Structure 1
């Protein structure tokens, strides 16, 4: 009869802080990390007893050592308290009257589209650029009306790109009207997919909420 030998480095949970550029989420038995510094994701399958709370991480010592070696943990600095990302939104924005885009709306859209196409920012660049923005999130009818204008003009854009491009363009179009929303990034595993969207509380701003149920939010900016 063989006796299982416990590995103290695997059983003992260590607490640490993720680097300021690193975000993490537990998806089932797997851990997904988003490193803004490298603009990439890392999947740690079957990671064991791991707990993620904002920027704090509790994990077996061997995993913490691996993350420290990869420079994914804080090295002596103390970061500001990081709130966890919001839950996946469950509701649509309320229906609001939407008129035809004005000349000013079309000019704003065209300028923002051209600037968004021109730049090739990393996720870290985007996070820094939009982190200090201000705008109203409590007027759902105004948000709905503004999104309606955006959707009328988007099909006429020469290129609309993937979710990252569209979310940035919509966020900047909202900001131009003194409106705002959270920009949320989510992941799923097996197969691995990453996606992003805009939301305000439990209301999805950029798409139908039932298309997001397969994702777990990993970061919000």
Structure 2
């Protein structure tokens, strides 16, 4: 479970530590132990409550909360289930032009990440809304597997954010929905992201991603 405390910021608990992801700054922030108990108590309330001054001060010091932002909220709680099922799809090869199209997709997303903020890109995904064919798991999995085979021939360094965003856009353009999940591990700190449907992980393995605590899902 994670909390969406601001339009650009989410929070989760991992190994008894409280973390905040601020996509506006493209930054993960571990809440100091001295401030985490009051912030956790506020988050755990089952009703909307006035944000404690200590929480406001913590978010301001971390530059998560700035002048003009709405008041943080503790009521927007979201649950993420990491599917453990193993997907199977048609492994037949696609047309010869697929590696070129995948290369263009990855290169285009790399340019987008350089030209636009992460917040801008994720807002575009979020405001697009759910796609009706999201339940078509086999079609999404087949496209993801074909994308991965072609991706191996693309001479651009791999990166979980780049590849997940490129695949998400690839699927969306084919009318296939997916969920983009960001997760963290606290000690040593590491961040990761991947794509999944309610039934299957599209571009990673359960053994790998199950070690991460979700902090954002779109």
- Quickly name the TM-score band, shorter chain normalised: 0.7 to 0.9
- Equivalent residues of 2:180, 2:193 under 8 A apart: yes
Which structure's CA Rg is the greater one?
1
Q: 2:28 aligns with which of 10, 16, 41?
A: 41
Q: How many residue pairs get matched?
A: 203
Kindly indicate whether residue 118 of structure 2 is the aligned counterpart of residue 118 of structure 1.
Answer: no
Residue-by-residue CA offset, 1:37-93 (whole Å, 9 max, x unaligned): 21111102432261547xx799875344322554535855688x8451512332232
In structure 1, the gaps of 5 or more residues are 1-15
The CA distance in 1 between the partners of 2:4 and 2:147, in whole Å, is 39
Residue-by-residue CA offset, 1:101-148 (whole Å, 9 max, x unaligned): 214534432321221232313320221222216542111111121112
User: 1:123-142 to 2 correspondence within 5 Å?
Assistant: 123-131=118-126, 132=128, 135=131, 136-142=133-139
The CA distance in 1 between the partners of 2:4 and 2:138, in whole Å, is 39
- The two structures have a TM-score, normalised by structure 2, of 0.79
User: 1:5-16 to 2 correspondence within 5 Å?
Assistant: none
- The two structures have a TM-score, normalised by structure 1, of 0.78
The structure whose residues are more often strand, as a share, is 1
Q: 1:98 aligns with which of 76, 88, 91?
A: 91
Three-state SS of the structure 2 residue aligned to 1:156 is coil
Kindly indicate whether residue 54 of structure 2 is the aligned counterpart of residue 62 of structure 1.
Answer: yes
The structure whose residues are more often helix, as a share, is 2
- Equivalent residues of 1:134, 1:178 under 8 A apart: no
Change (3 A) 1:112 1:133: farther
In structure 2, the gaps of 5 or more residues are none
Q: 2:101 aligns with which of 105, 108, 117?
A: 108
1:180 matched residue in structure 2: 177
The CA distance in 1 between the partners of 2:72 and 2:55, in whole Å, is 21
2:7 matched residue in structure 1: 20
